[in-house]
Chains A and B, each alone.
Chain A
Amino acid sequence: MLPTEQHRPTSQSSSSPNPIARDRYGFKKASHHISVQQYDAWNALYTEHLSRRSKKWHILMKSYGLNTENPFRFPPKSDKIKRYVRKGIPAHLRGAAWYWYAGGPGRLAKQPGLYAELLERVGRGALSDNDREHIERDLNRTFPDNVRFKPDAASMSDVQAGAGGGDEKKKKQRRSVGEAETPIVKALRRVLQAFAVHNPGIGYCQSLNFIAGLLLLFLDEDEEKAFVLLEIVTSVHLPGTHGIALEGANIDIAVLMSLLKDLLPPVWTKLDDKGGGVVGDPAAQSLRLPTVSLATTAWFMSLFVGTLPIESVLRVWDCLFFEGSKTLFRIALAIFKAGEHQILAVNDPMEIFQVVQAIPRRMLNVNGLMEVSFRRGRGNGFGGVSQSDIERRREERRKLVREGVARTQGGAMLRWKGRWRSKTRG
């Protein structure tokens, strides 16, 4: 086996004459961690699951007198609907259901016209050069394995012919020849630019490209809705996570580690390398995290995009928008649970990082993952992890960080913390 690594591939080899095998959403079936054969074997059964769920949802929607052709409203939240959501929202209802259950309509009603206004401000030069540049750099690096973002070479000429209208920007950093921008890439640019202008405390943060990109895919490229959901994700579900200092990301990683310590003690003991040797005063001591926690940064920041196979990501998002951010922690714990034996068997501390990094990338069996996430009972599942528990742990950690910072500001400080502070002021 080759060493594991982070990225999903964009091609098996650089030029393959065979048509690329794609899934139902236009993503390549194969990745560095999953072969087409593995995908197909799983998919044969999963397709049955999907058609079963689709029928169930159809009946459900009908029983509430709701439209399934152009879905907008959905049944009110209840235990029954929660069960339905946990088993997966059908693809054709998915984006609309995310928007509805996350509170999109209410958010939009508070500030109607905001998105258009922001685009106007972008047009008038409100976007910083830094944000503009970083967004441009990532546009072609967002889902290059999806046909709507990066069409197959054969169909490129069609896209180019239909692109028309010229590009508003100088295309100053074009890296390859024959690069055509698809409509969804243009939409992604606008959503990210509007978001950056509206959130000066965040601007553009790498990983928002993946969240916004997947939202656009499932919202029929409705930019305003994607923008509203991006706002909700970054304020309600992941507060501060994408901020200039990623402070919220570090908080949530610490919360996950504290949950591991309480709920999967053997795994925690194995992972806890005392922060890889960062030692210092007691405040620093209590702030430090095991090295392996770094592997989970992307889990939160990208909402598991690029970490789990795409179908699993979609199922996680179904629950996230319905149930809130506790979902992310339950899933993260279930990933550790799934890898428990592997993690405990590792001898070299560095290998743990590789193992933790690789476990979720092979997790096609999303039904199994979901079951462990939501099952109740200590050690068997993580359905007992409540939103209030998460909020309490987040608050505790924030307090620790504040106290730690106050301590270092107060006098004898360690150089590494001084560095941290200067970095986070940005």
Chain B
Amino acid sequence: MASRPQQGGRPSGTRFAQFKLVLLGESAVGKSSLVLRFVKDQFDDYRESTIGAAFLTQTIALDDQTTVKFEIWDTAGQERYKSLAPMYYRNANCAVVVYDITQAASLDKAKSWVKELQRQANENIIIALAGNKLDLAESDPSKRAIEKADAEAYAREAGLLFFETSAKTSENVKELFTAIAKKLPIEQASQRGGMRSAAGGRPGGVDLGNRQAGGQTTAGAAGGCNC
């Protein structure tokens, strides 16, 4: 992959870190479309429903010296796929919880995802709330079902980054991911060659317990997060 800088080959003074990002939210709110816009700068009016999950990567330069690579897990939105969700958000460094500003119920679903992440995921996880389909409300204000101020107030209260986005027009898409990147602990991660590899492929995982097959406790071993 051309976009994958090699660990050893970087000039000194530059920073590179990779982070795991998971996308969650009700079905058809535009999760895959946001990712497609971010990763390929494309948009399809009609996207196939995502079955299971898709994995993508995208690298962005924060400044001349700093490069951040996102490993993105785009998940299926339907409720029953939720049983798989812990496998996706386990060890995630950041999450984008998406709702559709034209669908009132989709914010409720987003809130329940936020709650679940705050309860179950990596305790340092950065969560962003994205109200997608801004283009629809801009072309016809009557389509808006969720006021920006309301969602924003909720996001502030819950400690989330917040953006209204349009995967279609690309409004705020890059901004969303850049804002997340800026909040990530790049310094720590780059010193150790990336968050994920830093802790044996599984930083966080705080809720999972550390007992191995034989039952002996191995807390503080590779499974633990020492950041």
Contacts and interface: CB of A to CB of B under 8 A. Distances in A.
Interface of A: 1-11, 13-14, 134, 137-138, 140-144, 150, 173, 175-176, 205-207, 209-210, 243-246, 250, 273, 276-282, 285, 291, 294-295, 297-298, 301-302, 306, 348-351, 353-354, 357, 414-416, 419-420, 423-424, 426
Interface residues of B, number: 63
A415 B215 contact: no
A117 to B, nearest CB: 26
B209 A141 contact: no
16 contacts: A3-B1, A6-B32, A6-B50, A9-B44, A141-B47, A142-B49, A206-B49, A206-B51, A276-B201, A276-B202, A280-B209, A282-B215, A294-B84, A294-B88, A357-B55, A423-B82
A298 B51 contact: yes
A144 B35 CA distance: 19
Given A11-B44, A416-B208, 19 more contacts: A2-B39, A2-B40, A3-B56, A7-B36, A9-B44, A10-B48, A14-B42, A141-B28, A143-B48, A144-B45, A144-B48, A205-B78, A246-B80, A278-B87, A279-B223, A282-B215, A306-B48, A354-B57, A420-B83
Interface in B1-53: 1-4, 27-28, 32, 35-36, 39-40, 42-53
Interface of B: 1-4, 27-28, 32, 35-36, 39-40, 42-58, 71, 74, 76-88, 90-91, 103, 120, 133, 136, 196, 200-202, 205, 207-213, 215, 223
A244 B78 CA distance: 10
Contacts of B81: 206, 246
A2 B43 CA distance: 16
Contacts of B196: 350
A8 B76 CA distance: 15
Contacts of A350: 55, 57, 71, 196
A11 to B, nearest CB: 6
A294 B53 contact: yes
Q: Give the most central of A143, A281, A291, A306: most B CB within 10 Å.
A: A291
Contacts, number: 185
**Nearest 6 CB-CB pairings of A with B:** A6-B54, A297-B52, A277-B202, A144-B46, A298-B51, A10-B44
Contact of B47 (A144, A302, A351): A144
A7 B207 contact: no
A398 to B, nearest CB: 16
Nearest to A356: B55
